[in-house]
Amino acid sequence: MNTDYVRVKRKVQQLGSSTLAVTVPAEWARHHDIEKGDEVIVQRDENGGSLLLVPEEPNVDDTDAVVNAETLSPEALGRAVVTQYVLGRQLVRIESETPLTPEHHDAVFDAERQLMGLGIVEQATQTVTVRCSVAPGDFDLPTLLGRLSRTEATIRTEAITALVEGDADRARTAARRYEQVEKLFYLFLRLVFATFRNPRLNQEVGLDTGFPLIGYRSVAQDVSLMAGLARDIADIVVESDGTVPDDDTADHLRALGGAIDDAVSATIAAVTTPDYDAAETARDRFDAVDDHVDACNDHLADERPEPLLELQRAVVLLERCAQHARDSLAVATHLAFRASPDLVDSE
């Protein structure tokens, strides 16, 4: 489809005493099969005041894709499948003029395990076809963001418990949960992209308008990064010699973990149910996080408990978790101001 009309000028015409009209580009109308008498949706962007014109049934005709695996490494093929999934493809066909290697097939199998709703429907020497059964209406973004955050919190809590108890098996279990975070995160990206392309999906994915999409995307990324840091704490335990910190040190770490849990939970609530007071409550929770970080660092500096190096690394990782959560709080604050127009009067 030609996109020369992405930015065009149109003259406003008077149709009646109180009616103004603007024509739409003919190619745009043809692409969406719009004819005289059809209805379209005019949606206002409440943030900037602009209008978005959306067909009653948007014509999204690129739901299938073909990946040429001939020159792709197995790792690159896996990334290509993930990308097509995020872009909203329903059917992805992997083709090669020469037989696919076992490593290429394994890369597709790994992607299948990594992506929710993706399944291999056909497999041959030179081709593999995968289909995604997930539809936007199957999930809503606020609920999915909550699931993502709770999974991250579980990894962090289990990793801290494994650290203070010297439990390597528990740490391995916590680290394996990261696969679920990845699965939820990629599904989240798929829904965000689909809704961005088709604004009529806003209500299906639990949003009144598309305004929060970019913010939600940012928060999901923060949660994913936090999960990676929590997995790093679990890896510290797996790689350690099993030395268990003393009770006082364990109490400091648990208190810090609990403070981060409270701050993150309050932040996600402020994002999914935008409210200025909720954002301020979350901000207060981070004051407690700062206090516990200082207490942990002071304790480690003064008492130098064993295993000191591992404990110091864990506290640094928890600080970084808190920083990502603070980034999400900034998003919550933006959404709160939008949801509370009485706080700001624009002239």
Whole-Å CA distances, 135 to 80, 139, 195, 205, 315: 20, 8, 11, 10, 40
| pLDDT band, residue 4 (cuts 50/70/90) | low
Cα dihedral angle (115, 119, 124, 126), rounded to 10 degrees? -30
**pLDDT over 60 at 184, yes or no:** yes
pLDDT at residue 206, as a whole number:
65
Averaged over 304-320, what is the pLDDT? 97
pLDDT at residue 159, as a whole number:
98
How much is the mean pLDDT over the chain? 89
pLDDT at residue 243, as a whole number:
93
pLDDT at residue 160, as a whole number:
98
User: Pairing between strand 40-44 and 51-55?
Assistant: antiparallel
This prediction's pTM:
0.83
For 37-54, the pLDDT digits (tens) are 887 777 665 555 567 766
For 244-282, the pLDDT digits (tens) are 999 999 999 999 999 999 999 999 999 998 889 999 999
CA atoms within 13 A of residue 318's CA, in its CB half-sphere? 34
Q: Distance between CA atoms of 308 and 183, rounded to whole angstroms?
A: 34
Least confident of 14-23, 145-154, 317-326: 14-23
pLDDT at residue 208, as a whole number:
67
For 291-302, the pLDDT digits (tens) are 999 999 999 999
Task: Report cis status (omega within 30 of 0) of the bond before 307.
Answer: yes
Residue with tokens 């190096």, as numbered in its chain: 309
pLDDT at residue 173, as a whole number:
97
Planar angle of CA 209, 144, 257, nearest 5 degrees: 120
For 6-29, the pLDDT digits (tens) are 677 888 888 877 788 888 888 877
pLDDT at residue 185, as a whole number:
97
Q: Distance between CA atoms of 77 and 104, rounded to whole angstroms?
A: 7
Residues shown for the chain: 347
- Label residues 334-347 b or e (16+ Cβ within 10 Å = b): bbbebbeeeeeeee
Amino acid letter for position 174: A
pLDDT at residue 338, as a whole number:
76
Instruction: Set out the domains of the chain in order of their start, with CATH numbers.
Output: 4-55 (2.10.260), 64-132 (3.30.1370), 137-343 (1.20.58.220)
Q: Name the DSSP letter for residue 134.
A: -
Task: Decide if 118 contacts 131 (C-beta within 8 A).
Answer: yes
**pLDDT over 80 at 56, yes or no:** no
Q: Distance between CA atoms of 68 and 127, rounded to whole angstroms?
A: 10
Query: Higher confidence at residue 56 or residue 312?
Result: 312
